[in-house]
Structure 1
Amino acid sequence: FVEENAQISFNMVHDYNTEYMIYPRSASKVDKNGIFISSYICLNEVKSVQMAPTAYLVGENAIARFSSVLLSSNPNTILDIGSTAIIEAKNCRTEMLARALTKNGIIINRGKIVSHVPNTFGHIECQGLVLGGNGYIRSIPEIEAGPDAELSHEASVGKIDQEKIDYLMCRGINKDNAVSTIVRGFLDISIKGIPQSLQDEISDIMEQASHGL
Protein backbone atom coordinates (compact mmCIF):
# COMPACT_ATOMS: atom_id res chain seq x y z
CA PHE A 1 0.00 0.00 0.00
CA VAL A 2 1.45 3.34 -1.10
CA GLU A 3 0.05 5.96 1.24
CA GLU A 4 -0.60 9.61 0.44
CA ASN A 5 2.53 11.42 -0.89
CA ALA A 6 4.64 8.26 -0.58
CA GLN A 7 6.76 6.50 -3.20
CA ILE A 8 7.80 2.85 -3.56
CA SER A 9 10.21 1.31 -6.08
CA PHE A 10 9.97 -2.47 -6.47
CA ASN A 11 12.77 -3.93 -8.60
CA MET A 12 13.45 -7.57 -9.52
CA VAL A 13 16.42 -8.93 -11.48
CA HIS A 14 16.20 -12.68 -12.14
CA ASP A 15 18.77 -15.07 -13.62
CA TYR A 16 17.58 -18.65 -13.07
CA ASN A 17 18.63 -22.04 -14.42
CA THR A 18 16.63 -24.06 -16.93
CA GLU A 19 14.73 -26.10 -14.31
CA TYR A 20 12.98 -23.21 -12.56
CA MET A 21 9.30 -22.36 -13.04
CA ILE A 22 8.54 -18.98 -11.45
CA TYR A 23 5.14 -17.48 -10.59
CA PRO A 24 5.56 -14.15 -8.73
CA ARG A 25 2.35 -12.51 -7.52
CA SER A 26 1.94 -8.92 -6.33
CA ALA A 27 -0.63 -6.13 -6.13
CA SER A 28 -0.47 -2.55 -4.91
CA LYS A 29 -2.88 0.19 -3.92
CA VAL A 30 -1.72 3.76 -4.53
CA ASP A 31 -3.29 6.65 -2.64
CA LYS A 32 -3.36 10.40 -3.36
CA ASN A 33 -0.11 11.76 -4.88
CA GLY A 34 1.51 8.36 -4.38
CA ILE A 35 3.98 6.84 -6.86
CA PHE A 36 4.51 3.14 -7.46
CA ILE A 37 7.40 2.01 -9.68
CA SER A 38 7.82 -1.64 -10.66
CA SER A 39 10.71 -2.91 -12.78
CA TYR A 40 11.48 -6.47 -13.81
CA ILE A 41 14.48 -7.92 -15.66
CA CYS A 42 14.74 -11.57 -16.66
CA LEU A 43 18.07 -12.79 -18.01
CA ASN A 44 17.76 -16.05 -19.92
CA GLU A 45 17.80 -19.74 -18.96
CA VAL A 46 14.67 -19.97 -16.80
CA LYS A 47 12.13 -22.62 -17.86
CA SER A 48 9.09 -20.38 -17.41
CA VAL A 49 7.95 -17.20 -15.71
CA GLN A 50 4.34 -16.06 -15.42
CA MET A 51 3.55 -12.79 -13.67
CA ALA A 52 1.21 -9.80 -13.98
CA PRO A 53 1.47 -7.33 -11.08
CA THR A 54 -1.55 -5.08 -10.60
CA ALA A 55 -1.74 -1.49 -9.36
CA TYR A 56 -4.96 0.12 -8.15
CA LEU A 57 -4.78 3.91 -8.35
CA VAL A 58 -7.33 4.93 -5.73
CA GLY A 59 -6.25 8.49 -4.86
CA GLU A 60 -6.11 11.59 -7.04
CA ASN A 61 -2.80 12.25 -8.85
CA ALA A 62 -1.55 8.72 -8.19
CA ILE A 63 1.06 7.31 -10.59
CA ALA A 64 2.09 3.75 -11.50
CA ARG A 65 5.00 2.90 -13.78
CA PHE A 66 5.93 -0.59 -14.97
CA SER A 67 9.13 -1.47 -16.84
CA SER A 68 10.34 -4.87 -18.02
CA VAL A 69 13.37 -6.13 -19.92
CA LEU A 70 13.04 -9.71 -21.14
CA LEU A 71 15.79 -11.82 -22.72
CA SER A 72 15.58 -15.38 -23.96
CA SER A 73 17.99 -17.53 -25.97
CA ASN A 74 16.90 -20.92 -24.60
CA PRO A 75 14.44 -22.85 -26.83
CA ASN A 76 12.69 -24.24 -23.74
CA THR A 77 12.03 -20.84 -22.16
CA ILE A 78 8.55 -19.30 -21.92
CA LEU A 79 8.23 -15.81 -20.45
CA ASP A 80 4.62 -14.65 -19.93
CA ILE A 81 4.98 -11.21 -18.40
CA GLY A 82 2.34 -8.54 -17.96
CA SER A 83 1.09 -5.67 -15.83
CA THR A 84 -2.31 -4.18 -15.03
CA ALA A 85 -3.40 -0.74 -13.84
CA ILE A 86 -6.91 -0.03 -12.58
CA ILE A 87 -7.54 3.71 -12.34
CA GLU A 88 -10.21 4.75 -9.84
CA ALA A 89 -9.49 8.45 -9.21
CA LYS A 90 -9.04 11.67 -11.19
CA ASN A 91 -5.72 12.94 -12.56
CA CYS A 92 -4.01 9.57 -12.30
CA ARG A 93 -1.35 8.32 -14.73
CA THR A 94 0.16 5.00 -15.63
CA GLU A 95 2.89 3.87 -18.01
CA MET A 96 3.95 0.38 -19.09
CA LEU A 97 7.23 -0.03 -20.97
CA ALA A 98 8.63 -3.36 -22.19
CA ARG A 99 11.70 -4.45 -24.15
CA ALA A 100 11.74 -8.07 -25.33
CA LEU A 101 14.55 -9.86 -27.13
CA THR A 102 14.57 -13.52 -28.12
CA LYS A 103 16.76 -15.85 -30.11
CA ASN A 104 14.96 -19.12 -29.44
CA GLY A 105 12.52 -18.77 -26.54
CA ILE A 106 8.91 -17.60 -26.38
CA ILE A 107 8.07 -14.19 -24.91
CA ILE A 108 4.51 -13.05 -24.27
CA ASN A 109 4.07 -9.47 -23.11
CA ARG A 110 0.71 -8.30 -21.74
CA GLY A 111 -0.43 -4.87 -20.66
CA LYS A 112 -3.85 -3.79 -19.42
CA ILE A 113 -5.17 -0.39 -18.36
CA VAL A 114 -8.74 0.26 -17.21
CA SER A 115 -10.12 3.74 -16.54
CA HIS A 116 -13.65 5.14 -16.49
CA VAL A 117 -12.52 8.27 -14.64
CA PRO A 118 -12.19 11.71 -16.30
CA ASN A 119 -8.79 13.34 -16.82
CA THR A 120 -6.75 10.15 -16.51
CA PHE A 121 -3.91 9.01 -18.73
CA GLY A 122 -2.27 5.70 -19.57
CA HIS A 123 0.13 4.30 -22.16
CA ILE A 124 1.41 0.82 -23.04
CA GLU A 125 4.56 0.34 -25.13
CA CYS A 126 6.19 -2.93 -26.18
CA GLN A 127 9.18 -3.25 -28.49
CA GLY A 128 10.62 -6.61 -29.44
CA LEU A 129 13.54 -8.00 -31.43
CA VAL A 130 13.69 -11.54 -32.80
CA LEU A 131 17.28 -12.61 -33.49
CA GLY A 132 16.61 -15.66 -35.64
CA GLY A 133 16.21 -19.14 -34.20
CA ASN A 134 12.77 -20.55 -33.47
CA GLY A 135 11.68 -17.99 -30.90
CA TYR A 136 8.83 -15.54 -31.18
CA ILE A 137 7.32 -12.57 -29.35
CA ARG A 138 3.62 -11.97 -28.78
CA SER A 139 2.39 -8.57 -27.61
CA ILE A 140 -1.10 -8.33 -26.08
CA PRO A 141 -2.09 -4.76 -25.10
CA GLU A 142 -5.56 -4.10 -23.68
CA ILE A 143 -7.13 -0.76 -22.84
CA GLU A 144 -10.62 -0.01 -21.51
CA ALA A 145 -11.45 3.68 -21.47
CA GLY A 146 -14.55 5.58 -20.43
CA PRO A 147 -15.43 9.20 -21.32
CA ASP A 148 -12.54 11.68 -20.89
CA ALA A 149 -9.96 8.98 -20.15
CA GLU A 150 -6.95 9.07 -22.49
CA LEU A 151 -5.38 5.63 -22.95
CA SER A 152 -3.07 4.48 -25.74
CA HIS A 153 -0.85 1.60 -26.77
CA GLU A 154 1.82 0.82 -29.35
CA ALA A 155 3.84 -2.28 -30.18
CA SER A 156 6.53 -3.26 -32.66
CA VAL A 157 8.19 -6.64 -33.11
CA GLY A 158 10.73 -7.54 -35.79
CA LYS A 159 14.35 -8.18 -36.62
CA ILE A 160 17.34 -5.84 -36.55
CA ASP A 161 17.35 -3.47 -39.51
CA GLN A 162 20.09 -4.63 -41.89
CA GLU A 163 20.84 -1.00 -42.79
CA LYS A 164 21.86 -0.33 -39.18
CA ILE A 165 24.25 -3.29 -39.27
CA ASP A 166 25.69 -2.14 -42.61
CA TYR A 167 26.12 1.39 -41.27
CA LEU A 168 28.26 0.20 -38.36
CA MET A 169 30.22 -2.24 -40.51
CA CYS A 170 31.10 0.60 -42.91
CA ARG A 171 32.80 2.23 -39.94
CA GLY A 172 35.09 -0.71 -39.30
CA ILE A 173 32.98 -2.70 -36.82
CA ASN A 174 32.60 -6.41 -37.58
CA LYS A 175 29.12 -7.91 -37.89
CA ASP A 176 29.02 -9.59 -34.46
CA ASN A 177 30.06 -6.41 -32.67
CA ALA A 178 27.64 -4.36 -34.77
CA VAL A 179 24.73 -6.60 -33.73
CA SER A 180 25.88 -6.49 -30.09
CA THR A 181 26.03 -2.68 -30.18
CA ILE A 182 22.50 -2.44 -31.59
CA VAL A 183 21.19 -4.89 -29.00
CA ARG A 184 22.78 -2.93 -26.14
CA GLY A 185 21.17 0.26 -27.38
CA PHE A 186 17.79 -1.47 -27.69
CA LEU A 187 17.96 -2.78 -24.12
CA ASP A 188 19.30 0.44 -22.62
CA ILE A 189 16.16 1.89 -21.06
CA SER A 190 16.11 4.34 -18.20
CA ILE A 191 13.84 3.27 -15.35
CA LYS A 192 12.30 6.37 -13.81
CA GLY A 193 12.42 6.87 -10.08
CA ILE A 194 15.25 4.50 -9.12
CA PRO A 195 18.64 5.54 -7.71
CA GLN A 196 21.39 6.13 -10.26
CA SER A 197 23.54 3.48 -8.57
CA LEU A 198 20.86 0.85 -9.27
CA GLN A 199 20.40 2.12 -12.82
CA ASP A 200 24.16 1.74 -13.38
CA GLU A 201 24.09 -1.80 -11.98
CA ILE A 202 21.20 -2.75 -14.26
CA SER A 203 23.05 -1.29 -17.26
CA ASP A 204 26.11 -3.40 -16.41
CA ILE A 205 23.96 -6.53 -16.22
CA MET A 206 22.36 -5.77 -19.57
CA GLU A 207 25.79 -5.16 -21.11
CA GLN A 208 26.96 -8.61 -20.00
CA ALA A 209 23.73 -10.28 -21.09
CA SER A 210 23.83 -8.79 -24.58
CA HIS A 211 27.09 -10.60 -25.32
CA GLY A 212 25.46 -13.95 -24.66
CA LEU A 213 22.77 -13.58 -27.33
Structure 2
Amino acid sequence: MTDSYRSDIVRIQKLIQQIRSDIQKREQKINVNQPVGIIDADIRQGISKLEIEIELLKSLIGRQNRNQEILQKEGETRKNTLLELQNVAAELKQNFDKSLRSQKDQLFNDRSNGGKQYKDTETLQQMDKKQLHYNQKQLQKEQDEKLDVCLDQLDTLKWKGKIIWNTVDEQNRLLIQIGNDMDKTNKEMINVNGKLKKVLNSSSYCCLHLFIAFELVGLIMIILFA
Protein backbone atom coordinates (compact mmCIF):
# COMPACT_ATOMS: atom_id res chain seq x y z
CA MET A 1 0.00 0.00 0.00
CA THR A 2 1.34 3.42 -0.97
CA ASP A 3 2.35 5.67 1.93
CA SER A 4 0.58 8.98 1.21
CA TYR A 5 1.78 10.56 4.46
CA ARG A 6 4.34 12.90 2.83
CA SER A 7 1.96 14.21 0.19
CA ASP A 8 -0.74 14.72 2.84
CA ILE A 9 1.66 16.79 4.97
CA VAL A 10 2.61 18.97 1.99
CA ARG A 11 -1.05 19.56 1.14
CA ILE A 12 -1.89 20.50 4.73
CA GLN A 13 1.06 22.89 4.98
CA LYS A 14 -0.05 24.65 1.79
CA LEU A 15 -3.56 25.02 3.22
CA ILE A 16 -2.15 26.56 6.40
CA GLN A 17 -0.06 29.04 4.40
CA GLN A 18 -3.08 30.01 2.29
CA ILE A 19 -5.29 30.57 5.35
CA ARG A 20 -2.64 32.73 7.02
CA SER A 21 -2.27 34.76 3.84
CA ASP A 22 -6.05 35.24 3.59
CA ILE A 23 -6.24 36.36 7.22
CA GLN A 24 -3.54 38.98 6.57
CA LYS A 25 -5.42 40.22 3.48
CA ARG A 26 -8.59 40.41 5.55
CA GLU A 27 -6.91 42.64 8.14
CA GLN A 28 -5.63 44.90 5.39
CA LYS A 29 -9.14 45.24 3.92
CA ILE A 30 -10.59 46.08 7.32
CA ASN A 31 -7.97 48.77 7.86
CA VAL A 32 -9.02 50.54 4.66
CA ASN A 33 -12.77 49.94 5.23
CA GLN A 34 -13.18 47.49 2.34
CA PRO A 35 -15.80 44.67 2.39
CA VAL A 36 -14.49 41.30 3.60
CA GLY A 37 -17.46 39.00 2.94
CA ILE A 38 -15.79 37.09 0.11
CA ILE A 39 -12.45 36.60 1.84
CA ASP A 40 -14.28 35.57 5.04
CA ALA A 41 -15.94 32.80 3.04
CA ASP A 42 -12.54 31.76 1.64
CA ILE A 43 -11.10 31.56 5.15
CA ARG A 44 -14.05 29.52 6.45
CA GLN A 45 -13.75 27.13 3.54
CA GLY A 46 -10.00 26.84 4.03
CA ILE A 47 -10.36 26.09 7.75
CA SER A 48 -13.02 23.48 6.99
CA LYS A 49 -10.78 21.80 4.41
CA LEU A 50 -7.87 21.90 6.84
CA GLU A 51 -9.89 20.16 9.56
CA ILE A 52 -10.97 17.43 7.12
CA GLU A 53 -7.41 16.89 5.86
CA ILE A 54 -6.12 16.59 9.43
CA GLU A 55 -8.81 14.02 10.28
CA LEU A 56 -7.86 11.98 7.21
CA LEU A 57 -4.20 12.19 8.22
CA LYS A 58 -5.13 11.06 11.75
CA SER A 59 -6.92 8.01 10.32
CA LEU A 60 -3.94 7.19 8.12
CA ILE A 61 -1.46 7.34 11.00
CA GLY A 62 -3.74 5.26 13.23
CA ARG A 63 -4.12 2.57 10.57
CA GLN A 64 -0.37 2.47 9.92
CA ASN A 65 0.38 2.02 13.62
CA ARG A 66 -2.26 -0.69 14.06
CA ASN A 67 -1.05 -2.64 11.03
CA GLN A 68 2.62 -2.05 11.90
CA GLU A 69 3.25 -0.60 8.45
CA ILE A 70 5.92 1.73 9.86
CA LEU A 71 8.55 1.53 12.59
CA GLN A 72 7.50 2.48 16.11
CA LYS A 73 9.86 5.47 16.21
CA GLU A 74 8.49 6.79 12.92
CA GLY A 75 4.96 6.28 14.21
CA GLU A 76 5.66 8.42 17.28
CA THR A 77 7.20 11.12 15.09
CA ARG A 78 4.10 11.20 12.91
CA LYS A 79 1.84 11.42 15.95
CA ASN A 80 3.79 14.44 17.21
CA THR A 81 3.55 16.09 13.79
CA LEU A 82 -0.19 15.46 13.77
CA LEU A 83 -0.54 17.08 17.20
CA GLU A 84 1.36 20.17 16.01
CA LEU A 85 -0.88 20.51 12.97
CA GLN A 86 -4.00 20.16 15.13
CA ASN A 87 -2.72 22.95 17.39
CA VAL A 88 -2.01 25.20 14.40
CA ALA A 89 -5.49 24.58 12.95
CA ALA A 90 -7.12 25.32 16.32
CA GLU A 91 -5.11 28.53 16.67
CA LEU A 92 -6.05 29.73 13.18
CA LYS A 93 -9.75 29.07 13.83
CA GLN A 94 -9.58 30.77 17.23
CA ASN A 95 -7.89 33.88 15.81
CA PHE A 96 -10.37 34.11 12.95
CA ASP A 97 -13.37 33.74 15.28
CA LYS A 98 -11.91 36.39 17.59
CA SER A 99 -11.47 38.78 14.66
CA LEU A 100 -15.06 38.16 13.57
CA ARG A 101 -16.40 38.89 17.05
CA SER A 102 -14.35 42.07 17.25
CA GLN A 103 -15.64 43.21 13.87
CA LYS A 104 -19.26 42.47 14.82
CA ASP A 105 -18.89 44.39 18.08
CA GLN A 106 -17.46 47.38 16.20
CA LEU A 107 -20.26 47.23 13.63
CA PHE A 108 -22.86 47.04 16.38
CA ASN A 109 -21.38 50.08 18.12
CA ASP A 110 -21.29 52.04 14.87
CA ARG A 111 -24.92 51.22 14.13
CA SER A 112 -25.97 52.02 17.69
CA ASN A 113 -24.31 55.40 17.52
CA GLY A 114 -25.79 56.02 14.10
CA GLY A 115 -29.22 54.95 15.29
CA LYS A 116 -29.23 57.72 17.86
CA GLN A 117 -28.82 60.25 15.08
CA TYR A 118 -31.65 58.79 13.00
CA LYS A 119 -34.21 58.52 15.77
CA ASP A 120 -35.15 62.11 15.21
CA THR A 121 -37.50 62.45 12.23
CA GLU A 122 -36.19 65.90 11.44
CA THR A 123 -32.65 64.54 11.13
CA LEU A 124 -33.86 61.96 8.62
CA GLN A 125 -35.52 64.65 6.58
CA GLN A 126 -32.32 66.67 6.50
CA MET A 127 -30.35 63.85 4.85
CA ASP A 128 -29.64 64.68 1.26
CA LYS A 129 -29.98 62.29 -1.66
CA LYS A 130 -26.28 61.52 -1.71
CA GLN A 131 -26.34 60.22 1.86
CA LEU A 132 -29.44 58.12 1.17
CA HIS A 133 -27.85 56.68 -1.94
CA TYR A 134 -24.68 55.85 -0.01
CA ASN A 135 -26.63 54.09 2.74
CA GLN A 136 -28.57 52.11 0.15
CA LYS A 137 -25.34 50.98 -1.52
CA GLN A 138 -23.92 49.89 1.83
CA LEU A 139 -27.00 47.78 2.58
CA GLN A 140 -26.85 46.22 -0.87
CA LYS A 141 -23.15 45.45 -0.41
CA GLU A 142 -23.83 43.69 2.90
CA GLN A 143 -26.58 41.60 1.29
CA ASP A 144 -24.25 40.61 -1.56
CA GLU A 145 -21.56 39.58 0.92
CA LYS A 146 -24.03 37.42 2.86
CA LEU A 147 -25.14 35.76 -0.39
CA ASP A 148 -21.52 35.04 -1.31
CA VAL A 149 -20.98 33.45 2.10
CA CYS A 150 -24.02 31.19 1.62
CA LEU A 151 -22.80 30.10 -1.81
CA ASP A 152 -19.33 29.33 -0.47
CA GLN A 153 -20.81 27.31 2.39
CA LEU A 154 -22.77 25.27 -0.15
CA ASP A 155 -19.54 24.62 -2.06
CA THR A 156 -17.89 23.51 1.18
CA LEU A 157 -20.71 21.05 1.90
CA LYS A 158 -20.39 19.71 -1.63
CA TRP A 159 -16.64 19.30 -1.18
CA LYS A 160 -17.13 17.49 2.15
CA GLY A 161 -19.62 15.13 0.53
CA LYS A 162 -17.11 14.33 -2.19
CA ILE A 163 -14.42 13.56 0.41
CA ILE A 164 -16.79 11.22 2.28
CA TRP A 165 -17.83 9.49 -0.94
CA ASN A 166 -14.21 8.94 -1.99
CA THR A 167 -13.39 7.50 1.45
CA VAL A 168 -16.33 5.07 1.31
CA ASP A 169 -15.40 4.07 -2.23
CA GLU A 170 -11.81 3.36 -1.16
CA GLN A 171 -13.00 1.25 1.79
CA ASN A 172 -15.28 -0.76 -0.52
CA ARG A 173 -12.39 -1.38 -2.89
CA LEU A 174 -10.22 -2.66 -0.04
CA LEU A 175 -13.02 -4.93 1.19
CA ILE A 176 -13.45 -6.39 -2.29
CA GLN A 177 -9.70 -7.00 -2.55
CA ILE A 178 -9.67 -8.74 0.84
CA GLY A 179 -12.60 -10.93 -0.24
CA ASN A 180 -10.83 -11.90 -3.44
CA ASP A 181 -7.67 -12.79 -1.53
CA MET A 182 -9.66 -14.94 0.90
CA ASP A 183 -11.39 -16.75 -1.97
CA LYS A 184 -8.04 -17.42 -3.59
CA THR A 185 -6.55 -18.76 -0.36
CA ASN A 186 -9.64 -20.93 0.23
CA LYS A 187 -9.34 -22.48 -3.25
CA GLU A 188 -5.68 -23.22 -2.65
CA MET A 189 -6.55 -24.88 0.66
CA ILE A 190 -9.19 -27.04 -1.02
CA ASN A 191 -6.64 -28.05 -3.66
CA VAL A 192 -4.08 -28.96 -1.01
CA ASN A 193 -6.62 -31.00 0.96
CA GLY A 194 -7.58 -32.91 -2.19
CA LYS A 195 -3.98 -33.79 -2.93
CA LEU A 196 -3.40 -34.80 0.66
CA LYS A 197 -6.34 -37.19 0.61
CA LYS A 198 -5.00 -38.82 -2.56
CA VAL A 199 -1.60 -39.29 -0.96
CA LEU A 200 -3.13 -40.80 2.18
CA ASN A 201 -4.94 -43.36 0.07
CA SER A 202 -2.07 -44.38 -2.23
CA SER A 203 1.38 -43.51 -0.86
CA SER A 204 3.81 -45.02 1.61
CA TYR A 205 4.50 -43.29 4.92
CA CYS A 206 7.89 -42.05 3.71
CA CYS A 207 6.41 -40.43 0.62
CA LEU A 208 3.56 -39.14 2.73
CA HIS A 209 5.89 -37.33 5.10
CA LEU A 210 7.82 -35.79 2.22
CA PHE A 211 4.66 -34.69 0.50
CA ILE A 212 3.22 -33.17 3.67
CA ALA A 213 6.42 -31.21 4.23
CA PHE A 214 6.37 -29.98 0.64
CA GLU A 215 2.72 -28.93 0.82
CA LEU A 216 3.25 -27.14 4.14
CA VAL A 217 6.06 -25.11 2.60
CA GLY A 218 3.87 -24.33 -0.39
CA LEU A 219 0.98 -23.30 1.87
CA ILE A 220 3.21 -20.96 3.86
CA MET A 221 4.44 -19.33 0.65
CA ILE A 222 0.84 -18.84 -0.51
CA ILE A 223 -0.17 -17.17 2.76
CA LEU A 224 2.88 -14.91 2.80
CA PHE A 225 2.77 -13.74 -0.81
CA ALA A 226 -0.95 -13.98 -1.69
Shorter-chain TM range is: under 0.3
Structure with greater proportional helix content: 2
TM-score by length of 2: 0.21
Q: With CA pairs under 8 Å and 6+ residues apart, which has the higher RCO, 1 or 2?
A: 2
TM-score by length of 1: 0.22
Structure with greater proportional strand content: 1
